[in-house]
Amino acid sequence: MMLAVAVAASAATKTYQVTGPVLEVRPDAIVVQKGTEKWEIARDVNTKAPADVKVGSKVTITYRMTAADIEVKPGAPAKAPAKKK
């Protein structure tokens, strides 16, 4: 049951796209040029990619943002209510 919930939550996560020429292809990542920026997108065994992707290919990558770590920071101290005159 938990696996089904995790899969359903994953499927509902918003997707994004980046398009540009490939600068580097590695088993764990692909790097593309978008304007003046280099975008490095992680890959894993579940990433679907054609075998002929190589440096120079123009690609569109669909990806999801996934948190790797969450750290709680202390908040600002609460403001005291204004005194009535």
For the stretch 15-50, pLDDT in tens is: 999 999 999 999 999 999 999 999 999 999 999 999
CATH code for the domain in which residue 42 is found: 2.30.30
Residue 29 lies in a domain: yes
In a domain, 73, yes or no: no
Q: How many domains does the chain have?
A: 1
Tell me which H or E stretch contains 10.
Answer: helix 2-12
Burial (CB count <10 Å: 0-12, 13-18, 19+), residue 33 = middle
Residue 10 counted as domain residue: no
Residue 9's pLDDT is: 54
Query: Any idea which of 12-21, 43-52, 73-82 has the lowest mean pLDDT?
Result: 73-82
Those residues whose C-beta lies under 8 Å from the C-beta of residue 25, and which sit 6 or more positions away, are: 31, 53, 54, 55
Residue 45 lies in a domain: yes
With respect to residue 82, please indicate whether it lies within any of the assigned structural domains: no
What is the domain range of residue 43?
Answer: 15-64
Q: With respect to residue 60, please indicate whether it lies within any of the assigned structural domains.
A: yes
